[in-house]
A and B are shown apart, each in its own frame.
Chain A
Amino acid sequence: KNEVEQSPQNLTAQEGEFITINCSYSVGISALHWLQQHPGGGIVSLFMLSSGKKKHGRLIATINIQEKHSSLHITASHPRDSAVYICAVRSHQAGTALIFGKGTTLSVSS
């Protein structure tokens, strides 16, 4: 079993829809990251969380440490949001390395 699991694996939406991507992990962590990867490989860090909730523009990330679960929400989705969204954790055991989920491929059509 992977230490970081994301769902769904693939997601399609119409422009304007509210999007939720889920991440569950099985290890003790010091931080959780949400990353965005566009075709061609470039990865951009969206959020880093250790507790609670963060908001940036139309993006909201939440984490529940007790339940070992995080969600990334996109409000009023737009075709430019189409990308792969990756959850990654910094575990106590892994030290400095990030452990990544396999990613959720989001496609938003107009």
Chain B
Amino acid sequence: GAGVSQSPRYKVAKRGQDVALRCDPISGHVSLFWYQQALGQGPEFLTYFQNEAQLDKSGLPSDRFFAERPEGSVSTLKIQRTQQEDSAVYLCASSLGGGRSTDTQYFGPGTRLTVL
């Protein structure tokens, strides 16, 4: 089937606005990851879901960031009261198994967020 998809691909927000970024993982994939990639940097981990359970949210930079995966498939990353330092590409990845180290992560194209 199709790979990981993300929407929107590009988002421009004014400082203080709330944004919601969507990730559609590969069908049947148990694990879902969100990463943040600042310009010129490698991605950094934000949060991890195994099915609908958010097992690790240690990478979320502040309580303005919230992620959910209510039915264990589509996930939404929400950022409240956006600030300029939130500008980055937000990457979603999914993998078949439940966090085993041998699983390949398949990445979506990312959402480029620009906060003015």
Binding site for B on A (CB under 8 A): 4, 30-31, 33, 35, 40-45, 48, 50, 86, 88, 90, 94-103
Contact = CB atoms under 8 A, between A and B. Distances in A.
A contact patch SS:
strand
Given A41-B109, A42-B107, A48-B104, A97 B89 contact: no
Contacts, number: 69
Interface residues of B, number: 29
B112 interface: yes
B72 interface: no
B101 A31 contact: yes
Contact of A98 (B45, B55, B102, B112): B45
Given A96-B48, A102-B42, A41 B101 contact: no
Contact of B101 (A40, A42, A43, A90): A90
Nearest to A6: B42
A110 B102 CA distance: 37
B106 interface: yes
Given A31-B101, A96-B33, 13 more contacts: A41-B91, A43-B43, A44-B107, A50-B101, A96-B48, A96-B56, A97-B45, A97-B56, A98-B33, A98-B105, A99-B45, A100-B35, A102-B42
A42 B109 contact: yes
A62 to B, nearest CB: 18
Interface string B80-114: 00000000010101000001011011111110100
B41 interface: yes
